[in-house]
């Protein structure tokens, strides 16, 4: 899986830097086309010549003394993936804050390649509130982490903070290149629909679109041809085809236009819309004592009812227990239903985290712990893949 991949290995200034020489060696043996960046501090722990001998190329050291005029943009474009191992607390803080003060951090800011971080530091540094905050930001921004492990640290202390072993880092790197989506087509809906009352006002809901956008990004990273039908302005990866819509009716026609192998309905679609939409803004003086509502189209039902229906994943944002969602999974004939109680802290609309229960087509439930929406997306794409293709 790694043979022929262009990988940039960045080594920062911790005692564990010596282990990155072993990592470099293994990567070269695996057929990786390897470039190395060393921070100034890294060279206090390991010499450039070690990596030059292993890779056959001089490591990159500086924004201004490299052979290239613009080494950060060249390396950023060249890389299929970047591994930062070990990743110090200082480098983690710079990346999390978008500081591009050296060759490594400028390259990371310029690259669109996936980035894997292997943190290594003393337990106190790892557990410091600033590092916790930076790590949360990085996970939320889509960076992948491997480790740190618990074990013996420099100086003989024991605790969490030990860098992962080269084999673990290589396994995590292989996962970055996981293309098990295999070109299948996936459509995902996101955000809350807005049903107009007049040109200014609408009926809406509090959905942010974060969950659906995280699923779209994850699916695209894993090799699905991904279409995101969304009401949200949130960004998506360049490889995701984004269709911006506003109403349930627009969302339905955009979804039905897509040929899909997998359809994930993460949007909060209005169940009702105003029966009459005023062409001009209704003035306060004209009054509006009531709004007559009519049902919106059931997008999920229209896809489930299709010949050659795709694998369908529904979302049920409820404010009550899971029983109603189990009934919904059965009635709507979905392959998987993701239930979340939006009245729980940590699972509300707009939150960066979600605590969900997965319900399968037989009504079996699997509660997942509270995790970031990106992690939910990752696990959900895993589950979709293992359900549609159990042999892998
Ligand atoms: C002996 C020694 C060991 C160190 N080990 C670590 C470490 O394991 N992790 C870490 O985050 N910082 C460690 N540091 C501190 C970093 O070297 C320091 O924060 C440096 O600025 C990191 O720079 P860089 O991230 O640009 O490589 C160590 C410092 C010394 C003197």
In this prediction, residue 245 carries a pLDDT of 98
Q: Looking at ligand 1, which atom is closest to the CA of residue 41?
A: 27
Give CA–CA dist 161/23, Å, rounded: 18
In short, whether 90's Cβ falls inside 6 Å of ligand 1 is: yes
Mean pLDDT value across the chain: 93
Helices (H), 9-47: 19-29
Q: List the domains of the chain with CATH numbers.
A: 6-176 (3.40.50.1950), 185-388 (3.40.50.10300)
Q: Which of 309, 13, 350 is nearest to 163 (CA)?
A: 13
CA distances from residue 127 to 120, 121, 271 in whole angstroms, order as listed: 12, 10, 45
Task: Give the integer Cα–Cα distance in Å for 17 and 373.
Answer: 32
In percent, how much of the chain has pLDDT > 70? 100
Residue bearing the CA closest to ligand 1, atom 30: 14
For the segment 33-90, what is each residue's pLDDT rounded down to a tens digit? 999 999 999 999 999 999 999 999 999 999 998 788 999 999 999 999 999 999 999 9
Q: How confident is the model at residue 272 (pLDDT cuts 50, 70, 90)?
A: very high
What backbone phi and psi angles, to 5 degrees, belong to 280?
Answer: -120, 155
- Model pTM score: 0.68
Task: Give the CA distances from residue 126 to residues 73, 162, 163, 340, 373, in Å, rounded to whole numbers and listed in that order.
Answer: 30, 10, 11, 31, 23
At 328 the pLDDT is: 92
For 206-236, letters b (16+ CB in 10 Å) and e give ebbbbbbbbbbbbbbbbbbbbbbbbbbebeb
Closest to 373 in 3D by CA, of 131, 129, 97, 188: 188
Tell which one of 41, 104, 126 to mutate to probe ligand 1, the residue whose CB is within 8 A of the most ligand atoms: 41
Would you state the pLDDT for residue 288?
Answer: 84
Would you say the CB of residue 41 lies under 6 angstroms from ligand 1? Answer: yes
pLDDT at 228 over 90: yes
Ligand 1 centre distance from Cα of residue 379 (Å): 33
Strands 33-38 and 6-11: parallel
Q: What is the 3-state secondary structure (H, E, C) of 234-250?
A: CCCCCCCEEEECCCHHH
Ligand 1 site, residue 120, Cβ cutoff 6 A: yes
CA dihedral defined by 7, 13, 17, 21, rounded to 10 degrees? 40
Q: Does pLDDT of 392 surpass 70?
A: no
pLDDT for residue 345 is more than 90: no
Measure 170 CA to ligand 1 centroid, in angstroms: 23
Half-sphere exposure of 24 (CA within 13 A, CB side): 29
| Ligand 1 touching residue 88 (CB < 6 A) | yes
Give the Cα separation of 43 and 86 in Å (integer): 13
Catalytic status, residue 205 = yes
């Amino acid at each position: 899986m790694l043979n022929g991949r262009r990988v940039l290995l960045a080594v920062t200034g911790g005692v564990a830097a010596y282990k990155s020489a072993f990592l470099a060696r293994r990567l070269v043996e695996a057929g990786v086309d390897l470039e190395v960046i060393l921070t100034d501090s890294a060279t206090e722990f390991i010499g450039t010549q070690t990596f030059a001998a292993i890779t056959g190329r001089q490591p990159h050291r500086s924004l201004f003394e490299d052979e290239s005029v613009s080494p950060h943009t060249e390396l950023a474009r060249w890389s299929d993936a970047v591994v930062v191992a070990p990743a110090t607390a200082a480098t983690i803080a710079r990346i999390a804050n978008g500081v591009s003060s050296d060759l490594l951090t400028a390259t990371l800011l310029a690259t669109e390649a996936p980035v894997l971080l292997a943190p290594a530091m003393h337990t106190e540094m790892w557990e410091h509130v600033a590092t916790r905050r930076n790590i949360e930001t990085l996970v939320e921004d889509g960076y992948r982490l491997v480790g740190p492990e618990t074990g013996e640290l420099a100086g003989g202390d024991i605790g969490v903070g030990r860098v992962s072993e080269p084999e673990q880092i290589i396994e995590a790197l292989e996962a970055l290149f996981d293309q098990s989506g295999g070109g299948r087509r996936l459509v995902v809906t996101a955000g809350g629909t807005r049903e107009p009352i007049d040109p200014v006002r609408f009926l809406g809901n509090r959905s942010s679109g974060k969950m659906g956008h995280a699923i779209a990004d994850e699916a695209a990273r894993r090799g699905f041809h991904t279409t995101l039908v969304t009401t949200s302005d949130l960004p998506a990866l360049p490889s995701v085809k984004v269709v911006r819509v506003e109403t349930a009716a627009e969302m339905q026609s955009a979804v039905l236009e897509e040929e899909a192998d997998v359809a994930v309905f993460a949007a909060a679609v209005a169940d009702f819309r105003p029966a009459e939409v005023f062409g001009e803004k209704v003035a306060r003086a004209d009054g509006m004592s009531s709004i007559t509502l009519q049902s919106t189209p059931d997008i999920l039902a229209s896809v489930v009812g299709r010949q050659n229906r795709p694998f369908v994943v529904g979302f049920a944002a409820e404010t009550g227990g899971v029983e109603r969602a189990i009934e919904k999974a059965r009635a709507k004939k979905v392959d998987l239903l993701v239930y979340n109680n939006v009245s729980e802290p940590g699972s509300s609309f707009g939150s960066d985290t979600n605590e969900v229960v997965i319900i399968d087509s037989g009504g079996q439930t699997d509660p997942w712990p509270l995790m970031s929406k990106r992690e939910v997306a990752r696990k959900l794409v895993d589950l979709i893949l293992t359900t549609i293709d159990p042999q892998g």
